[in-house]
Amino acid sequence: MKKKLLLITMILAGIMVHAQPFKWAKQFSSTSLNYGITMAKYPSGEMIVSGGFEGTVDFDPGEDTHFLTSFGAKDVYVAKIDVEGNLLWVKQIGGTGDDFPRNVSCDASGNIYITGVFEGTADMDPGEATVNFTSIGGKDVFIAELNGNGDYIWAGQLGGVNDGTGTRVMVAPSGNIYISGYYIGTFDFDPGPAEFYMSTNGQSIFVEKLNSNHEFVWAKTMGSTLFDYCQSMCLDEEENVYTIGSFKGEGDFDPGDGTVLFTVFGGNDIFVSKLNSNGNYVWAKHMGGTSDEFGQSIVYDYEGHLYITGNFMGAVDFAPDDGGMILTSFGGRDEFTGKMDTEGNLLWVNQIGGEGDQSSYAMALDNNNNVYVTGYFTETADFDPGEGTYWMTSAGDLDAFVSKLSSNGTFIWAAGMGGPLYDRGMSVISDQGNVYTVGYFGGTADFDPGIENYLLTALGERAAFISKLGAELVGVAEDMVYDGITVYPNPMNEDFHIDFNDLHQHIVVNIYNMQGQVVLHQEYLNTNRITVSLKDAPGLYFVQVATDADQTEWIKIIKK
């Protein structure tokens, strides 16, 4: 069966002033579950995509098929995709338990590194040979290295009687390998035959360094006696290590003999930390408020600046040690993006907010240090953090988004992708003037953020998607002007208006839902302005307007 389902193709005369920004969207198909979690640029221009899957999945998003079947519960897939979205190869890592990736990256030679979590016995060699790892207790951390063809090179295990998760792996130009994550109890952090144990009374953060021969160099731990998460890591030219995440209670962020204590203001607070290439403390920063705040991603621009993103609720001070910089969420949970220097000084921070929740998962930079962020949003949110507004309304429960800011935090554009169910953007990269996003969705979702529509349908509960957009993007405008027709407002609450330049004797309006069903049919006589009332559920709708002048227009409209 063809995996992509294009239910309605509408070519709308319109307001696009740039070349068509939507390039393509692809999915991996199954009647069970598969997730897109992480993505990296390959040195020769392709993309490496990784995620988890259950059951049997077709990983070829084109006309052909390439099936993999999980060995037990969830397995890890690693796929190489070209710039047109064609599958080049896909590999599988897993066993009888739950195995899941959190991050993938590439070195300059084209080798591929994956880290995540596994339980039970899992085969780390995706080829014909077998390299079995067995978790020591609950869930252990794995690190795997493949070559550019997806063949096994090496794998390592970090483990203990409790659970741990690897969240980020990066390879420096020197070949040194850095891994970050979090763990509970006592863990052995030497993936070789020797042992190096660290212990925590709760769930704590770890950062680890291996040399280019995969030999253990050092491991460090930070955090509190409660629950701490390291979600992301980046390196600078000198292999200083920057991490971001969240912590509870009172946490010590000096992994050496000293003590640097932070106490949360409320529930979960954000930390940003810098260690040098030997794992020694340089600085740490604390951001928080009376509710819960989470740091999700950090990147370095190789010009002395760090960019951070995550989410928060209530009033949060993002610079409590430096005079204060407070943001207050508009409704539920808001997204934040900020810029710091490598001394830990906050240069700016802004937010995306609205009635519901907005959260980011990942960010990337282009060659001009424009900032791309992906995540999810609900209900109606303003994506312009400045004095202007750029409203987007989710088509259902959660929609994926990609937003672009300048290096100074100025809004450039935002794009929404989704349908009536749960859709999330999990990873984003920028390359050659294009923006690639990976994530997962349910039901039928529209992946063209412009006026036209491109719908994919998940055959199971969740499906991975990969999307390619041009960097110059214009979304749905609040007022849309066609050939002699103006439609407003968009998004709308219940009523919207259609104005015509000329008086028409006969006008027919049909409104379709995401399933292609007609939900409203109206005819109007002798008028040049009509008001349409749509009492159906919030979401995305397609409006067909036909006049007695043999003019037919298709309009995409969002009901809040």
Name the pLDDT band for 323 (thresholds 50, 70, 90): confident
- CA nearest neighbour of 167 among 210, 236, 256, 105: 105
Residue 473 has pLDDT above 90, yes or no: no
Tokens 């003019």 correspond to 551
Residue 126: what pLDDT?
97
Report whether 280 contacts 256 (CB < 8 A): yes
Is residue 206 a contact partner of residue 182, using CB atoms and an 8 Å limit?
yes
Question: pLDDT at position 464, please?
Answer: 97
Three-state SS annotation for 166-226? EEEEEECCCCCEEEEEEEEEEEECCCCCCCCEEEEEEEEEEEEEECCCCCEEEEEEEECCC
- At 2 the pLDDT is 33
pLDDT reported for residue 515: 61
The pLDDT of residue 21 is above 50:
yes
Q: Is the pLDDT of residue 134 over 50?
A: yes
CATH class of 480-559: mainly beta
CA 193 to CA 219: how far, in whole Å?
Answer: 16
Smallest CA-to-CA distance from 167 within 15, 24, 313, 362 is with 362
> Who has greater pLDDT, 353 or 487?
353
Coil vs helix vs strand at 432? coil
pLDDT exceeds cutoff 70 at 110 = yes
CB-facing half-sphere around the CA of 473: CA atoms within 13 A:
28
Q: Where are the beta strands (DSSP E) in 14-83?
A: 22-27, 38-41, 47-53, 56-58, 67-69, 75-81
Q: Mean of the per-residue pLDDT values for the chain? A: 91
331: pLDDT strictly greater than 90 = no
More confident residue, 472 or 158: 158
% of the chain residues with pLDDT over 70: 94
390-426 pLDDT tens trace: 888 898 889 999 999 999 999 989 999 999 899 999 9
483 vs 400, residue with greater confidence: 400
Structure tokens at 163: 């659970």
> Per residue in 369-378, pLDDT tens?
999 999 999 9
**Using the 8-state DSSP alphabet, how is residue 72 labeled?**
S
Grade residue 20 by pLDDT with cuts at 50, 70 and 90.
Answer: very low
Residue 396 · residue 367 · CB < 8 Å: no
Amino acid at site 187: F
DSSP 439-459: EEE-SEEE---SSS--EEE-S
Give the confidence band of 549 by pLDDT, cuts at 50, 70, 90.
confident
Residue 91: is its pLDDT beyond 90?
A: yes
Confidence of residue 476 (pLDDT cuts 50, 70, 90): very low
Reply yes or no on whether the pLDDT at 9 is more than 70. Answer: no
The DSSP bridge pattern shows strands 56-58 and 455-457 to be unpaired
* Residues belonging to the chain: 560
- Rg from Cα positions in the chain: 24
pLDDT given at position 482: 63
Quick one: average pLDDT of 299-309? 98
In the block, residue with structure tokens 């830990």: 344
The whole-number average pLDDT for the span 223-235 is 94
- Indicate the residue type of 334: D
pLDDT value, residue 488: 83
Greater pLDDT, 211 or 449? 211
> DSSP strand E in 254-317: where?
261-263, 269-275, 281-289, 294-300, 305-317
> pLDDT grade, residue 479 (50/70/90)?
very low
pLDDT at 540: 72
Q: Is residue 388 very low, low, confident or very high in pLDDT (cuts 50, 70, 90)?
A: confident
Locus of tokens 């519901």 = 356
pLDDT of residue 36: 95
What is the average per-residue pLDDT within 355-360?
Answer: 93
Global pTM value: 0.84
pLDDT of residue 491: 74
> In whole angstroms, how far apart are CA 302 and each of 70, 307, 548?
40, 11, 60
Inter-residue contact 284 to 321 (CB < 8 Å): no
Distance from C-alpha of 251 to C-alpha of 240, rounded to nearest angstrom? 21
- Provide the residue ranges of all domains of the chain, joining segments of one domain with +: 37-222, 480-559
Between 103-117, 441-455, 480-494, the lowest mean confidence (pLDDT) is in 480-494
End-to-end CA distance of the chain: 34
Tokens of 427: 């990873």
Pair of tokens at residue 542: 């397609």
- Euclidean distance between CA atoms 263 and 268, whole angstroms: 10
| pLDDT for the residue numbered 322 | 81
CB-based contacts of 453, cutoff 8 Å, min separation 6: 8, 9, 10, 446, 542, 556
Q: Is the pLDDT of residue 211 over 90?
A: yes
Give the pLDDT of residue 15. Answer: 32
H/E run at residue 346: strand 346-354
